[in-house]
Amino acid sequence: MENNALQPQVDVIAAFWDGLDRIPLTKRALRELNRRNHPIGTSRNAKSRSPWPTTIERFSRKGGPDLTDLRNFPNPEDRTEDMKSTTHRTTKTNPYDSAFQQHLTNHGIYPPKYKYPSGGFAPKPSNWDEIFARTTRPRASLSSATGLAELCRTIDDELGSCAREVNVSCCVPLLRSKTDEPKTRSMGCQFKNLAPLTDGTLTASCPDVYYGARPESLDPELQLACDRLVSPSKKKDEPMLPNFFMALKGPSGELPIAENQACYDGAFGARALSFLISLGSGARVLEDGRAYTITCTLKDGVLRFYTCHLYKPRDPRRVWECAMTLLCVCVLNGSQVQCKDALTTLRNLVEWAQETRDAAINLANDVWRRSEGRLSCGELLDAFAKNKKSAQHLLEHKEHTNVGLEDSEHQDETILCIQHSKSSRPRSDDITGPTTLDGRITKRRRIAEKPSGTCSTYNLRPRPGPLRK
């Protein structure tokens, strides 16, 4: 029974390793190799046997049962060790694994300064200069020389005494602005409600700190329709639509791991904001290539800020690709001038992220309420995925043509439809990128006949259990 309970998790981990182009030599990889070479609960020389007799007379007629299957079976203590290793092995891959970044890259989520195999780097966001200019805007709260000197000294002392990552998180309140609203930030919240970015083999994102919008700021019907894109947690009091993240590391932490975490977190925020902005405005976010999400890392008193944005993919099998771009580097525990610049940059970018969220929410609410039920979430996700008309354009088109909302009885299931020609329709095992908004491919079912081919349906809400080929 225990092996049967672990089997779904084992299948998920096996799918992760099978999807890598190159498998690194790590302890996790060796454990997976051992699991495949010596499955638990089976004999190495086991042969297929017929079912055992059901009556004692037939059971003992020829001397009892055949025990040849027990030859070379491991000792009980060895079996216990194997079961312990199996429990550890079934943990989903997280940013601490060296194969984590490769998995993201294989699915079109790129780290800073990523260079394509064919040449050329991942593009910078088109509004990079605009965001960078915002970092230097003066702040009245940091104009007092006396108060600033005391604040910088306190930050330097606190960061210098941090021995672990949990101590670094205690320094975050010193970096905030006094105008920060408590209900727009959260710490240690796992993003278990968001749809997976790739194939579901990665652990749920858990940013150390993130900023988002208050749940009641978005129209309740719209929030329910796109819940798996904008609501990180099933707890309704957690901030939604996150677009500013912080990854904290202690003195013994590693910067590449913090960047992996920041890249993973930022991709969730970029997907959510891009969808909501495409819903409320006439912008085609994949073509515009603008950034709406900021991530930062804090390690040894150094703040590194990055932008995350979606753009039109190079691979036609993907809906979007995401790039993480370095914005600037600031030092908190240096001179007073450096500390002031770091605090100014941090607080300005938190403010910019809030303004971006508020503008996107206001536009989306306005369009959704004007639609009066004539737009379905499936239509909106479809338009965003195909980089075609925005919600505003769809609404104007329906107003002119007097087209009502189509049958939406299965709206929760049918979220995104992508058309393929019959000759070029990809197989599920050929798709290596985020082919849907959530990146998870579920079973296809035929919807309607079209002249150009068939319509394949992808479910935004992933199925329980692993993805099986």
> In which element (H, E) is residue 325 found?
strand 321-331
Distance (Å, rounded) from C-alpha 293 to C-alpha 363?
17
Tokens of 73: 């079976």
Strand pairing class (240-249; 293-299): parallel
Collect the ranges in the chain with pLDDT lower than 50. Answer: 1-2, 43-50, 78-90, 388-389, 402-469
Residues 6+ away with beta carbon under 8 Å from 17: 23, 29, 32, 99
Q: What is the DSSP letter of 324?
A: E
Distance (Å, rounded) from C-alpha 245 to C-alpha 287?
25
Distance (Å, rounded) from C-alpha 274 to C-alpha 226?
13
What is the model's pLDDT at position 8?
Answer: 66
What single letter denotes the amino acid at residue 454? T
CB 447 within 8 A of CB 455: yes
What is the model's pLDDT at position 414?
Answer: 29
Residues 6+ away with beta carbon under 8 Å from 172: 187, 209, 246, 248
pLDDT in tens, 168-196: 888 899 999 888 888 999 998 999 999 99
pLDDT in tens, 298-349: 999 999 999 999 998 888 888 899 999 999 999 998 899 999 999 999 999 9
What is the model's pLDDT at position 160?
Answer: 86
Beta bridge partners of 209: 187, 246
Distance (Å, rounded) from C-alpha 43 to C-alpha 442?
35
Residue 50: CA count within 13 A, CB half-sphere: 4
Distance (Å, rounded) from C-alpha 244 to C-alpha 268?
11
**Strand, coil or helix: 467:** coil
Distance (Å, rounded) from C-alpha 52 to C-alpha 285?
63
What is the model's pLDDT at position 409?
Answer: 35
What is the model's pLDDT at position 393?
Answer: 57
Distance (Å, rounded) from C-alpha 95 to C-alpha 149?
37
pTM strictly above 0.85: no
Distance (Å, rounded) from C-alpha 153 to C-alpha 144?
14
What is the model's pLDDT at position 211?
Answer: 96
Nearest to 187 by CA among 167, 207, 213: 207
Distance (Å, rounded) from C-alpha 231 to C-alpha 212?
10
Nearest to 238 by CA among 249, 247, 246, 227: 227
Taking all residues of the chain, what is their mean pLDDT, rounded to a whole number? 75
pLDDT > 90: what percent of the chain? 36
- Give a three-class secondary structure readout of 212-266: EECHHHCCHHHHHHCHHHHCCCCCCCCCEEEEEEEEEECCCCCHHHHHHHHHHHH
What is the model's pLDDT at position 338?
Answer: 94
Strand pairing class (240-249; 209-213): antiparallel
